Amino acid sequence: MTQDNLMIIIAFALYLGLMMYIGVYYYRKSNSIGDYILGGRQLGPWITALSAEASDMSGWMLMGGGFLAVSWTDCIQGALMFFAILAVPITAAMYMGGPIETFQLIQHEFPQGLSLFGNPSDWFTWAIGLISSLGWGLGYFGQPHILVRFMAISDAKELKKSTNIAMVWVILSLMAAIAVGLIGHVYMLPDKLVGTDAETVFLIMTERLFTPFVAGLIWSAVLAAIMSTASAQLLVTASAISNDFYANIIHPKASDKELVLVSRIVVLLVALVAIYMAMDPDSYILTMVAYAWAGFGAAFGPAILFSLFWKRMTRHGCIAGIVVGGLTVLIWKQFGFFGLYEIVPGFIFSSIAIYIVSLMGKLPPRPVLKDYREAEKMHVL
């Protein structure tokens, strides 16, 4: 083993050790299903914001510690990702002579990368690409692993602060991610990364620009991005199966201790299935993420929005929207009609289904309407 490899391993070990410590700490504190799934609604605005955005971009921590472990590790991982995604393009630009020289090099070698809308020679294709790109924004409304962070905040009045923190984080991070792609393209010259190798540009730049120990810390940020999203998705799955399915259908009298155990078993099983599915070396990360993003966004996004802003939505309308949105994504993905990103038709058809089915049924029960009016009065955003 070389000294460089040893330093990288030490950096990874420090990162993983800290994450495991947090997991064990909250494992001892998660005694009820409420603690395990929502952390007793004890999150502050900074933890809420950073953990929400980190989960957008820790299987063992989740299996043991539950929601609080995931939220705290995601907060740390969010900060680590933030500084890493800024450090790599800035350092690369300095290495190539500064921001002005780097920009001029991009203009000369990769001018199409600076075109916001591309070459609209084929207006139909251009319009489809633009609509599909904008459609990514619709996905945020239906991502349960993001929404659950805001559900767990200790004081609803802090939501606005959390929203502002999250927006600053995501704007700077996404701008830096674009910079990685643009600067990485010219930094790698005369080499060019194609196919699945193009997704490794961040890793290669890090290896060439930094010392082994620092590179190990930055690579930990990549692991942080993977772990934060994986742990959040695992938590949502465990919540749905243990609390919604097991507790309501299989064993309604299950104790909190039993439900926590079921949740941990579900986390382990789903993680093993995910590992098996991810073993295909030729699969594109972005393709898999886009498919999952569309599924969640189209199935749950309209239901969330209608529940917040239209008191006429009924239970059957909500179910219809979830089913129609999910099925539309599945079918559209297989046929690829017009090359349009499947979240767009899925979101539209789901909204139509909610509206029509809700109008066909009776008004929601009075207690539901009462809760809606009370929620309107508490609106703090």
Confidence of residue 27 (pLDDT cuts 50, 70, 90): low
Which of 70-79, 204-213, 246-255 reaches the highest mean pLDDT? Answer: 204-213
Greater confidence (97 vs 256) lies with: 97
Say yes or no to pLDDT of 55 above 50. Answer: no
Say yes or no to pLDDT of 63 above 50. Answer: no
Which of 44-53, 209-218, 267-276, 344-353 reaches the highest mean pLDDT? Answer: 344-353
Say yes or no to pLDDT of 172 above 60. Answer: yes
Distances (CA, A) of 8 to 83, 90, 200, 331, 352: 18, 22, 17, 44, 52
User: Residue 166 has what pLDDT?
Assistant: 81
User: Residue 326 has what pLDDT?
Assistant: 94
3-state secondary structure of 119: coil
59-73, 159-173, 317-331: segment of lowest average pLDDT: 59-73
User: Residue 226 has what pLDDT?
Assistant: 73
Which of 23-37, 194-208, 299-313 reaches the highest mean pLDDT? Answer: 299-313
The answer to whether the peptide bond before residue 364 is cis (omega within 30 degrees of 0) is no
User: Residue 76 has what pLDDT?
Assistant: 73
Q: Percentage of residues in the chain with pLDDT exceeding 90?
A: 24
34-48, 124-138, 139-153: segment of lowest average pLDDT: 34-48
Q: What is the mean pLDDT of residues 83-107?
A: 91
- Spatial separation of the C-alpha atoms in residues 43 and 58, rounded to whole Å: 19
3-state secondary structure of 153: strand
**279: phi then psi, degrees, rounded to nearest 5:** -80, -5
Question: In the predicted model, what is the mean pLDDT of the chain?
Answer: 80
Which residue matches tokens 């999203």?
229
Count of CB atoms within 10 A of residue 84's CB? 22
Q: What is the mean pLDDT of residues 36-47?
A: 52
- Spatial separation of the C-alpha atoms in residues 119 and 104, rounded to whole Å: 20
Task: Tell me the one-letter amino acid at 357.
Answer: V
User: Residue 1 has what pLDDT?
Assistant: 58
- Spatial separation of the C-alpha atoms in residues 27 and 208, rounded to whole Å: 39
The pLDDT tens digits for 284-341 are 777 888 888 999 999 999 999 999 889 899 999 999 999 999 999 999 999 988 889 9
User: Residue 192 has what pLDDT?
Assistant: 81
Q: What is the mean pLDDT of residues 233-240?
A: 76
**153: phi then psi, degrees, rounded to nearest 5:** -65, 145
3-state secondary structure of 43: strand
| Beta partners for residue 153, in sequence order | 43
- Spatial separation of the C-alpha atoms in residues 6 and 123, rounded to whole Å: 53
Helices within the chain (DSSP H only): 3-27, 33-38, 45-56, 59-95, 99-109, 123-135, 144-151, 159-187, 201-209, 212-239, 256-277, 285-309, 315-335, 343-360, 366-377
Q: What is the mean pLDDT of residues 18-27?
A: 68
Greater confidence (92 vs 229) lies with: 92
Confidence of residue 35 (pLDDT cuts 50, 70, 90): low
Confidence of residue 213 (pLDDT cuts 50, 70, 90): confident
User: Residue 58 has what pLDDT?
Assistant: 42
User: Residue 59 has what pLDDT?
Assistant: 40
User: Residue 331 has what pLDDT?
Assistant: 95
Confidence of residue 90 (pLDDT cuts 50, 70, 90): very high
pTM for this structure?
0.73
Say yes or no to pLDDT of 170 above 60. Answer: yes
User: Residue 317 has what pLDDT?
Assistant: 95
Say yes or no to pLDDT of 5 above 90. Answer: no
User: Residue 320 has what pLDDT?
Assistant: 96
Q: What is the mean pLDDT of residues 179-199?
A: 84
User: Residue 138 has what pLDDT?
Assistant: 92
Say yes or no to pLDDT of 40 above 60. Answer: no
